[in-house]
Amino acid sequence: MKKIAVFNPNAGKGLNQKSLTLLIPAFNQAGIDVWISRAKHDIENRIREWCDNHPLEEVCFIVSGGDGTMHEAVNGAAGHKHTVFASIPAGSGNDFARHFGGLKLDMNLLQHLSRLHSEDQDLITYSMIKERVAVSNMGAGFDAEVAYSANRSKIKKLLNKLSAGKLVYVVFLIQQLLVFKPYSLTIIADRREKQFKRVWFTTISNQPYYGGGMKIAPNADTKDGLLDVTVVHGLSRIKFLLVFLSVFKGSHVTFKEVYQVRSARVNCIADRDVRVHADGEDNGLLPAGQALSAQIAADKIRVAGQLALDE
């Protein structure tokens, strides 16, 4: 199988140049191509181009970065039937590797790669402006605003360098807590329509974790063919903070203001423009009255990641 290692130098603390300088010759000797992205969307575009040019070839993309990098990689390969993904978690959140497993960037990497076991997993497909896929989760509202502000902020890079990248989310969580305006929502899931008022956020999860280890959908299963939908609604600002903090342990599900439903597809319609993220990447504003449609993709994603994330 063809192997291509893809590195995002912008993820997390940035590229560990020392490890890379040592590893590139070993990668090349083992026949593994090494790509280092030059800009946002570069990984997605290069993977798409490779897949378009090699529709029948089996390939393993070994992706070094965080959840945004994995989001790009998976979208680049969407529709290519012979792709396997492995992750080298190097971002701030790393929820993909937290659930699916990941590899360490060290001299044992090549040995581990030869022993990896891959499995088919569910994938989310969604449409806003165009059809895309998300691998871990997507959502609308407060969390999308926090991710949007954090990813654009200059302090994220600085905090990442100080190994405190997650702090940036705390800063913007507090800021959004003060300014965010809850919205009204209609969701159609599991063949039922439900209405909610004062919605803080709606998350559509494939796997349990999001936001860097928060257990938003504790029982989500990436092999059950179902999405786990969470709606957090009807809370004052102070109580919302309490519920939000309880997400780290997954105990938010005991609050009556947290609604959860499982469904193979879901439509969400808000009464005002609401910001949407997919795998923590900004997807712009969902216009008022327009449906965000998400469902389990017909094609599975193949993931090689049996080694535990050592954090």
Ligand X SMILES: Nc1ncnc2c1ncn2[C@@H]1O[C@H](COP(=O)(O)OP(=O)(O)OP(=O)(O)O)[C@@H](O)[C@H]1O
40 binds ligand X (CB under 6 A): yes
207 binds ligand X (CB under 6 A): no
CA 116 from chain centre, in angstroms, equals 22
CA distances from 217 to 9, 88, 301 (A): 30, 24, 20
Q: Which is nearer to ligand X, 166 or 194 (CB)?
A: 166
Task: State in angstroms the smallest separation of the CB of 175 from ligand X.
Answer: 18
Contact in structure between 230 and 202 (CB atoms under 8 Å): yes
Dihedral sign (CA 251, 190, 144, 11): positive
Run of H or E residues at 145: helix 142-152
CA distance 205 to 280: 12
Binding letters toward ligand X, positions 263-282, x by CB under 6 A: -----------------xx-
68 binds ligand X (CB under 6 A): yes
Q: Binding residue for ligand X (CB under 6 A) from 23, 59, 61, 66?
A: 66
CA distance 49 to 45: 6
Q: Binding residue for ligand X (CB under 6 A) from 6, 77, 80, 91?
A: 91
Token look-up 């993909």 returns 96
Q: Which stretch binds ligand X (CB under 6 A): 26-34, 68-76, 196-204, 213-221?
A: 68-76
72 binds ligand X (CB under 6 A): yes
Task: State in angstroms the smallest separation of the CB of 38 from ligand X.
Answer: 5
Binding site for ligand X (CB under 6 A): 8-12, 37-40, 42-43, 65-69, 72, 91-94, 212, 280-281
